[in-house]
Amino acid sequence: MPQHPSQPAAVILAAGKGTRMNSDLPKVCHEVGGRPMVCAVVDACQAAGCGKIVIVVGYKQELVRAALADYDVQYAVQDEQLGTGHAVLCAKDALASFDGDVFVLCGDGPLIRPSTLETVLQRHRSQHAKATLATSIIDNPDGYGRIVRDDAGKFVSIVEQKNATPEQLQVREVNPSYYCFDCDALFKGLDRVERNEASGEYYVTDVPAILMAGGAHVEVIDAVPPADVLSINAPDDLQEVDRIFRERSSVGGPA
């Protein structure tokens, strides 16, 4: 697909196994709405105008490729699971000739709406940001990275739950993993991400704070409806997301 300068790109993370799903399938291949859930994420990116979509694959990647056989996408391979930052870095070669804005999204978030991506992109571009994060305020933030702000309400960083202080764990504004970056800034930031001591992984969530420390403008927008945030970590979650997805599809699909 030819890339127009105004068209964003997308990197969709789809390399994980999903160890709590009690299945040998890659997590993103579990079905929501009768199709592998990653299809809904690609659909949303296409509907939001993405001209290049890169799928980062790893565990049983042949199944993910088969699930997306009818889509015009490219692939990048993450041979070793070293975190989200490392996963995005694996897509660097696929975006070598791309100069523009790029979404970074998770393949296990099938409740994503094209309108949310469009809102994020509009804010990102209107504010000339190098990174824009879409956040959500939810009643039960357990399991999600928290949005840390200073006393004036200004964004400071994203803190993963496993690294959060007791005070930070009380924060209800979470990171549902909807990012938009200037592509060049993204990879320059990733080059500076350090391995997390607690997990041994490299987090893409560190990039916004790194860019801010270098003087870049980072936008944060509460743009993700709480109903869209539900993550799929276990079979019960899958059933609930499938129910919501089918209900939404019955009234015309996600906007």
How far is it, in rounded angstroms, from Cα 169 to Cα 185?
29
Residue type at position 228 = D
57-76 tens-digit pLDDT: 999 999 999 999 999 999 99
> 22 in the Ramachandran plot: left (φ > 0), alpha (ψ -120 to 50) or beta?
left
Cβ-contact 146, 158 below 8 angstroms? yes
What is the rounded CA–CA span in Å between residue 15 and residue 78?
7
Q: Considering the entire predicted model, what is its pTM?
A: 0.94
- Tell me whether residue 1 is in a domain: no
Residues in a beta bridge with 181: 102, 131
Residue-level pLDDT at 205: 94
Dist. CA 222–CA 245, nearest whole Å: 22
Taking CA atoms, 170 is separated from 139, 226, 236, 239, in Å, by 10, 17, 25, 28
Give yes or no for a contact between 99 and 181, defined as CB atoms under 8 angstroms apart.
no
Helix H or strand E encompassing 47 = helix 37-47
Which pLDDT does position 162 carry in this prediction? 86
In 67-144, DSSP assigns E strands to: 74-77, 101-106, 131-137
**What is the domain count for the chain?**
1
End-to-end C-alpha distance for the chain, whole angstroms = 24
Which member of 20, 192, 243, 246 is catalytic? Answer: 20
The pLDDT value given to residue 20: 79
List, for residues 180-211, the tens digit of each pLDDT value: 999 999 999 999 999 988 889 999 999 999 99
How buried is 189 (Cβ within 10 angstroms: 0-12 exposed, 13-18 middle, 19+ buried)? buried
Domain region containing 68 = 9-248
Tell me which residues of the chain have a pLDDT lower than 70: 1-5, 252-255
Domain annotation covers residue 129: yes
Is 120 domain-assigned? yes
20: annotated active-site residue: yes
Q: Are 12 and 37 in contact (CB under 8 A)?
A: no
Q: What is the phi/psi pair of residue 177, to 5°?
A: 70, 50
Domain-located, residue 4: no
Q: Other C-beta atoms within 10 Å of 235: how many?
A: 13
Residues 6+ apart with CB under 8 A from 166: none
What CATH number is associated with residue 17? 3.90.550.10
